[in-house]
Amino acid sequence: MRSLNADPPPKIFVREAFFAATLLCFSCLFAAAAAFPNQTGPSKESKPDLKAYVGTWKGSFHGEVFAILVLREHKGELEGTMNNFDIAVDKNGNLTDDTHKNTGDAPLFNVQLKPDGLYFLVPEKDAYSQPTEWKFVPKDPDRGELIVRLDDALNAPPGLVIKPIRMVREHPKP
């Protein structure tokens, strides 16, 4: 039998405890967001200046243009085309006489501007071939380098290094 002087068992207020815990969680999240504003939401890093890349860039061999890279800005991103051409190199990575321009242009795919240059893929004229990965680096307002990346190339001999193709920016005639 129960004693009449004993205190009744404590009541558990589930609804009030849940409300207090929820309020505490939201208060902590709000405080963290206020204390670390750059850690919440999208990054507000400054966009690189695309003007250094935009334009028509041409590469020549023996005085003949064989490579044409056209870069445009569209909605704050770079896009463009590159013409079809074949390059041939000697064992030291220098262009040889079999380097030549072909007909047609191809769109650039997977264009990524990174701190060390512009990376992109160009489909081969043979639709069944693996696309070629390229890197373009402007050296100054009028000169740049186009570099074929052989990291994943299936048909490149091991250890082959191709020297960068010197590119010159074409200026519109007045």
pLDDT digits (tens, 9 = 90+) for 37-54: 444 444 455 666 899 999
Task: Taking residues 1-9, report their average pLDDT.
Answer: 48
Q: Which of the four pLDDT bands, split at 50, 70 and 90, describes residue 154?
A: low
Task: Please list the alpha-helical segments (H only) found in the chain.
Answer: 14-35
The yes-or-no verdict on residue 133 having pLDDT over 90 is yes
pLDDT digits (tens, 9 = 90+) for 98-125: 999 988 899 999 999 999 999 999 998 7
Q: List the one residue out of 161, 113, 107 whose CA is nearest residue 137.
A: 113
The yes-or-no verdict on residue 156 having pLDDT over 70 is no
Q: What is the pTM of this model?
A: 0.70
* pLDDT, mean over the chain: 79
Structural domain spans, the chain: 50-170
Task: Taking residues 164-170, report their average pLDDT.
Answer: 97
**The one-letter amino acid at 32:** A
**The one-letter amino acid at 97:** D
Q: Could you tell me which CATH number the domain at 50-170 has? A: 2.40.128
Backbone conformation region of residue 80, classed left if phi is above 0, alpha if psi is from -120 to 50, else beta:
left
CB-based contact 52:141 (threshold 8 Å): yes
